[in-house]
Amino acid sequence: MITDVIREDARGVVHSLGRLLDPLAGSRVLVTGAAGFLGAFFMDVLEAFNERHATNPALVTAMDNFMVGPPERISHLLGRPWLTLRTADVSRPQEIEAEYDWIIHLASIGSPSIYRSNPLQVIAANVQGTWNLLEAARKGAKGMLSFSSSEVYGDPAIVPTPEDYNGNVSFTGPRACYDESKRLGETLCSTYFRLHRVPVKVIRPFNVYGPGQRLDDGRIIPDLLRAALAGGPLVLFSDGAATRSFCYVSDFTEACLMLLVMPEADGEAFNVGNAEEVAIAQAAHTMAEVTANPPLPVLFEKSAETAYLVDNPQRRCPDLSKLHRLTGFSARVSLKEGLGRSLASYREESNPLHRPKRAS
């Protein structure tokens, strides 16, 4: 499940960041959720980093319970001398005993179609898992990234949405297990920074997509990619008017790694994404054009899943001023280019539409 596109993207992140990543050399790094979409790409970036630092590599512990992330996604890394792979659940404190210099906490379930079916597991990972990782960071970590979500804003009254917006979130709806547990996870992070000076940064991702994402994930870009690989049509289970700001995975990861090694970001939350706001229908038509000439048809239908659109935000676009002021970061990959690279990556695989089924 590793492809040339993914390797090229990962090496591009390391090349772009250059000496900024030097503090990782020879250090101990923990990545939770390491087989998930984002976690696996972070692992590929760490491999690319270690290719450049072969005599003093980062010593990486990859942790996952493989409930959602497939082991095959990181199987190409098995046997690397710098890698320790652990099958473990971050919600159990006894699973995290070693000390680490850098912690990248991505263990969670981000797909609405999965987390609605597994609400207690979601809450456990987002709350108890985050608590356990913060305790691990107290042992002397130099930096920690805790990944929250743009869903903490709910259906925002302010768009583009800044980090100091408190949110408009249902705490009992079908998405509440995810949204509210992410919000409590952020409370834990800010509390540990205030009480114990744990060097944690909270990341609020905005609709990150790219190669390696599960095509049965249930979110809009994987759905479009799956339909495109099958030859169409592209079906939207809405009117397509809702907006999102899609960020390609290499852009996202680059910004996050900048924040990881910056002490001045400690204790803060950051929106990370792309500032371009795009209607879902526009994204579908872009996918249709990237896939074929003439473009694949785009259809609008009603979902059989009754909770599909409940509490679904109508607009989602980040205010990235805070991130840009600190890092100078701006996303570079356009939606058209990112969809093209994603499609090319899946086409490298022998049978991307018949991967092992996710857990449920």
The two three-digit tokens of residue 56, written as one number: 């003093």
- In angstroms, the CA 73 to CA 1 distance is 5
- In angstroms, the CA 231 to CA 73 distance is 24
The two three-digit tokens of residue 156, written as one number: 């925002």
The two three-digit tokens of residue 91, written as one number: 């919600």
Is 165 one of the annotated active-site residues of the chain?
Answer: no
> Any bridge partners for residue 200, and if so which?
144
* Residue 36 φ/ψ, nearest 5 degrees: -75, 175
In the set 100, 115, 153, 178, the catalytic residue is 178
- In angstroms, the CA 202 to CA 270 distance is 6
Strand order in the sheet with 102-105: 83-87, 59-64, 28-32, 102-105, 143-147, 200-205, 269-272
DSSP-assigned letter for residue 125: I
Select from 273, 155, 296, 138 the least CA-distant residue to 203: 273
The residues carrying an active-site annotation are 178
